[in-house]
Amino acid sequence: MRNFWLIAKHTFLDTVAKRRFIILTLAVPIGIVLLGALGYFAETMGQDTRPVGYVDQAGVLDPARHAVIPDASDRLQVRSYPSVDAGREAVARGDVTALFVFPPGYPQAREV
């Protein structure tokens, strides 16, 4: 039995004392933390809180039907524009990130 413990101790110390074992033992947890931090920062930095705009030439989006959403500051804001040119100017100024145009006959044509 004494020989078993002697061999086990030698094998353990031989493995643990190697430089690559120590480096990997430290690198794996650090790598996991770095990947988690990268994911967190990618998620928080990638959020664009600017509103989107739309031009409703088809009359499918009735402003009277818009529901009031509690805590709307966390939601995406939507702005209506009277014409395509006004919407394009808002996009050019950076007021909105995108402009959706619903042309006349939208529900049948299915083109936005």
Instruction: pLDDT tens for the chain, 112 residues: list them.
Output: 888 998 988 998 888 888 998 999 999 999 999 999 999 888 877 677 788 898 888 878 776 666 666 665 667 788 889 898 999 999 999 888 899 988 887 777 666 5
The model carries a pTM of 0.51
Domains of the chain: total: 2
Domain shared by 41 and 80, yes or no: no
By residue range, what is the domain housing residue 104? 52-109
User: Would you state the pLDDT for residue 73?
Assistant: 60
Domain shared by 38 and 57, yes or no: no
With CA atoms as reference, report the closest residue to 112 among 97, 98, 91, 94: 98
Domain shared by 40 and 68, yes or no: no
Instruction: Confirm if 101 and 84 have CB atoms less than 8 A apart.
Output: yes
Domain shared by 38 and 63, yes or no: no
Domain shared by 35 and 72, yes or no: no
Domain shared by 63 and 84, yes or no: yes
Domain shared by 7 and 56, yes or no: no
User: Would you state the pLDDT for residue 69?
Assistant: 61
